[in-house]
Structure 1
Amino acid sequence: MKLVTNWRAVLRHAWSVRLLLLAAVLSGLEATLPLLAPYLPIPDRLFAALTGLTVGAALFARFLAQKGVSDAGPKDQAD
């Protein structure tokens, strides 16, 4: 396994990375929700559902051509 040559651009611009970071934040909110439950009327499993949808969107975004990160040359292709 090796990194793509434009990994810095992928890290900065890829929607899949952004969506996975959002999923991590939502997962953290789900973990802290029991502490906030007395103060906020938030439905059960809301953050779990949002996290699942976000991860699904990240998976979908991973396969879309994205301007600025999809300009892979021949050496970036899988062997």
Structure 2
Amino acid sequence: MKFITDWRQVLGRAWSVRLMLLAAFLSGVEAVSPWLGGFLEPGHLALFSALATSGAFVARFLAQKDFDDET
């Protein structure tokens, strides 16, 4: 496995990465939600996490401006 040459730029700017981080955050919040007072119904955070993951999957295949296609 070899990193792409501009991996730092991709890590900071790619929507797929941002959405994967959001999905991870939502999964973590869901895990601790019983101790947070249950501000959302069970399963809502899982749904939002699934939507963020699906968006990341789609964003991974879309061309994003300000990136060169040199992978």
TM-score (norm 1): 0.82
Q: What is residue 22 of structure 2 aligned with on the other side?
A: 22
Q: Which aligned runs of 4 or more in structure 1 are off by greater than 6 angstroms?
A: none
The Cα of 1:5 is off from its aligned counterpart by 1.0
Choose 1 or 2 for highest CA Rg.
1
Letter in structure 1 aligned against 2:54:
G
The Cα of 1:37 is off from its aligned counterpart by 3.2
Percent identity of equivalent pairs: 49
Structure 2 residues not aligned, in runs of 5+? none
Give the 5 Å matches for 1:23-62: 23-37=23-37, 40=39, 42-62=40-60
The Cα of 1:35 is off from its aligned counterpart by 0.8
State the SS of the aligned residue for 2:20: helix
Structure 1 residues not aligned, in runs of 5+? none
- Higher percent of residues as helix: 2
The Cα of 1:44 is off from its aligned counterpart by 1.0
TM-score (norm 2): 0.90
Q: Would the aligned equivalents of 1:19 and 1:57 in 2 still touch at CA under 8 Å?
A: yes
- 1:44-74 deviation per Cα after TM superposition (whole angstroms, max 9, x unaligned): 10001110110000000000000122x123x
Say what the alpha-carbon RMSD is for the aligned residues. Answer: 1.3
Q: Say yes or no: does 1:64 pair with 2:24.
A: no
